[in-house]
Structure 1
Amino acid sequence: MADAGRVVVKIGSSSLTAPGGRLDVDRIHRLVAVVAERRAAGQEVVLVSSGAIAAGIAPLGLPMRPTDLATAQATASVGQGLLVARYTEAFAEHGRRVGQVLLTAEDLIRRQHYRNAQRALARLLALGVVPIVNENDTVATDEIRFGDNDRLAALVAHLVRADALVLLTDVDGLYDGPPSRAGARRIPEVRGPEDLDGVEVTGRGTSIGTGGMVTKLEAASIATSAGVPVVLTVADNAERALLGEPVGTWFAATGRRKSARRLWLAHAARTSGRLVLDDGAIHAITHGKRSLLAAGITGVEGDFEPGDPVELATPHGVVIARGLVAYSAGEVREMRGRTTAELQEQDGTSHPRPVVHRDDLVIVSRY
């Protein structure tokens, strides 16, 4: 970690706010001091910061985080300006400028948006600016319901080709059970999914933030599968984590860095339907690295068009892959279960296209 040239640091709302929900300026200044020190040492840092909605709660006189979408968007609109203003002031004390980058899932789904975001972040870093990234909660929908920016941080780590991702939260690592339970043990290192067997994870966040340990593990899985190691620790350990000291939980990289397209397909794309596969098709795509043919499809769910992302699932509902389908839902329903020879005889084509070509398919879990 100490030798990482570029690091993404994500901090959640609960680590930036005081009791009652107001933004805690002292906490921001402590975090900024650590980031500025690492930047002065030559390490590039992208800061993914939650807190826009939390920052807007007190100024609007709200008793708690809003639950309806319109009020949440309005609160984020008020709070985002306050949040960035605090960061601007704090970094200015260290002679650093910041740049605000607001993203939504659309910016990671659409290829041109993805490339634009990538260029903008690269240029900010080249200019010595510290990018402050947040979800654009004012116009986002799913992001407000599902995000504490954990998933976004993992995707940003891939976007900027970071050497590591640091997730700062309000617990000092991953435990094998609820940390409040007597005898719960902190897990110092996770080398792969098998190390999580038997780990009991509960809760999806606080009244201020919307994340939780579940989303942290999801983010760690996204990042490590794309070749980016992850440190999960409490915000007070930020400096020690960035210096490479053994704090929190270290998630080792388990895969190679993926192409932007494959990472998008695996984690960012919204699927339009699901194809249920038989055992032969499951084995062919997961172990044989083959394309999905119509003969192996037993069920079709949803309404999709050619080129849409779809899930590929087992008969028990386990999603094992995602892919770009070559036919509409109606066409696949007519084709399912039929062999290539049968389709050739019906359509008169010598080489019917696979339903999902192997170049348009990514495995998301082994079965």
Structure 2
Amino acid sequence: MLDAKRIVVKVGSSSLTTAAGGIDPARVRRLVDVLAAVRARGAEVVLVSSGAIAAGLSPLGLARRPRGLAAQQAAASVGQGLLVHRYTEEFARHGLVTGQVLLTVDDVTRRAHYRNAHQTLAQLLDLGVVPVVNENDTVATHEIRFGDNDRLAALVAQMVHADLLVLLSDVDGLYDGNPATPGTTMLSDVRGEADLADVKTGSIGAAGVGTGGMVTKVEAARIATGAGIPVVLTSADNASAALAGERVGTHFHATGKRRPTRLLWLAHATEPKGRLELDAGAVRAVVSRGASLLAAGLTGVEGNFEAGDPVDLVDPDGRPVARGLVNFDAAEVPALVGRSSRQLRDDLGPGYGRVVVHRDDMVIL
């Protein structure tokens, strides 16, 4: 951990605010002091911070997080400015400049948006800025339920090619059950899915202002470790010890290898717009031989998509085996099903002889 040169730290709402809502200045200051110490030893830091909606509750006189979307967006509008202002002041005490980066699902699912977000974050880090990332809750719809920023933090870690992801919560690690139940045990290390077989996760939170729980944190850890990025899950109170390399919390060891950002984006940051149904031969060609998908291997199509959209490739039993960027609109695909490239070129023109999904635009699930 001490060798990590670029670290993404995610902190949840309940670790920054009071139970009644509103920012807790002492908690923010302690967190910033820890992150500034990491910067002082030469590592770069990206902070993914929840808390905009929670920070807006008290100024608006709201006793708890509202259920209505419009009220949540209003609270985010008020709270986001307060949250970033607090971070700006606290980091300035250490001579550090912060930059606000607000993202929505589109920014990590649409290729052009993803590339722009990646370039912005890279430039901020090159300039010595501490990026403070949050969802753009003011204009978001279902994004507000994006997983308490846990999944977003894992995607940001991939986006900036981080060496480490630290998830700070109000629980000191991953337990095999509810930590409030006697007899449960905290897992110190998770090296693969087998270590999670007996774990029962749920929404665990003390302050009642966050949205996530251990389910979203484990999902985020899977995404990051599958891309070669180790993860530490612990409480905000243990942030200093964790970032100093002490054995606190739960360590999720990297299970995969680093892959091109483009494939990480495709595997974890996209929602399929439809499904392409493959015969058994096409499944073998795509999965085992790394081949492109040809029209001859298609048996059907579902969904409403355009050329360039992500789609799932499913086997004869309907199970997704790959995801890729399709080269045809959904309306065009039925005419391609089961036909060879030569037939398509002869009957429909040279433009229809291309592959349906190129192997360079595909990732095996």
TM-score (norm 2): 0.90
Residue deviations 1:277-336 (CA, integer Å, cap 9, x gap)? 344433332222122233443442211122211122345554332111122223323433
Aligned residue identity for 2:220: A
CA distance in 2, matches of 1:287, 1:198: 31
Query: What is the correspondence of 1:243-258 to structure 2 with a 5 Å cutoff?
Result: 243-258=244-259
Residue deviations 1:128-162 (CA, integer Å, cap 9, x gap)? 32221111111222321224111111121122221
For residue 3 of structure 2, what is the aligned residue in structure 1?
Answer: 3
For residue 239 of structure 1, what is the aligned residue in structure 2?
Answer: 240
For residue 208 of structure 1, what is the aligned residue in structure 2?
Answer: 209
The secondary structure found in structure 1 opposite 2:48 is strand
Aligned residue identity for 2:354: R
Q: Say if 1:265 and 1:322, in contact at 8 Å, map to a contact too.
A: yes
Q: Say if 1:57 and 1:75, in contact at 8 Å, map to a contact too.
A: yes
CA distance in 2, matches of 1:280, 1:212: 41
Q: Say if 2:11 and 2:48, in contact at 8 Å, map to a contact too.
A: yes
TM-score (norm 1): 0.90
Q: Say if 2:170 and 2:235, in contact at 8 Å, map to a contact too.
A: yes
Shift of the 31–58 alpha-carbon distance from structure 1 to 2, 3 Å rule, reads same
Aligned residue identity for 2:135: E
Aligned residue identity for 1:302: G
Q: Say if 1:204 and 1:215, in contact at 8 Å, map to a contact too.
A: no
Gaps in structure 2 of 5+ consecutive residues: none
For residue 231 of structure 2, what is the aligned residue in structure 1?
Answer: 230
For residue 331 of structure 1, what is the aligned residue in structure 2?
Answer: 332
Shift of 1:342: 6.4
Shift of the 248–279 alpha-carbon distance from structure 1 to 2, 3 Å rule, reads farther
Residue deviations 1:220-272 (CA, integer Å, cap 9, x gap)? 12212222111111111111111121211111222222222212211222321
CA distance in 2, matches of 1:71, 1:351: 49
Q: Which moved more, 1:55-64 or 1:124-133?
A: 124-133
Shift of the 90–348 alpha-carbon distance from structure 1 to 2, 3 Å rule, reads closer
For residue 267 of structure 1, what is the aligned residue in structure 2?
Answer: 268
Residue deviations 1:337-359 (CA, integer Å, cap 9, x gap)? 45667657755869933322211
Shift of the 122–355 alpha-carbon distance from structure 1 to 2, 3 Å rule, reads closer
The secondary structure found in structure 2 opposite 1:4 is coil
Q: Say if 1:15 and 1:169, in contact at 8 Å, map to a contact too.
A: yes
Shift of the 345–49 alpha-carbon distance from structure 1 to 2, 3 Å rule, reads same
CA distance in 1, matches of 2:302, 2:133: 36
Aligned residue identity for 1:96: L
For residue 38 of structure 1, what is the aligned residue in structure 2?
Answer: 38
For residue 26 of structure 2, what is the aligned residue in structure 1?
Answer: 26
Q: How many residues align?
A: 364
Aligned residue identity for 2:63: P
Shift of 1:211: 1.6
Q: Which moved more, 1:92-101 or 1:71-80?
A: 92-101
Identity of aligned residues (%): 63
The secondary structure found in structure 1 opposite 2:237 is helix
Shift of the 341–130 alpha-carbon distance from structure 1 to 2, 3 Å rule, reads closer
Query: What is the correspondence of 1:1-367 to structure 2 with a 5 Å cutoff?
Result: 1-203=1-203, 207-338=208-339, 347=348, 352-364=353-365
CA distance in 2, matches of 1:103, 1:52: 13
Q: Which moved more, 1:153-162 or 1:71-80?
A: 153-162
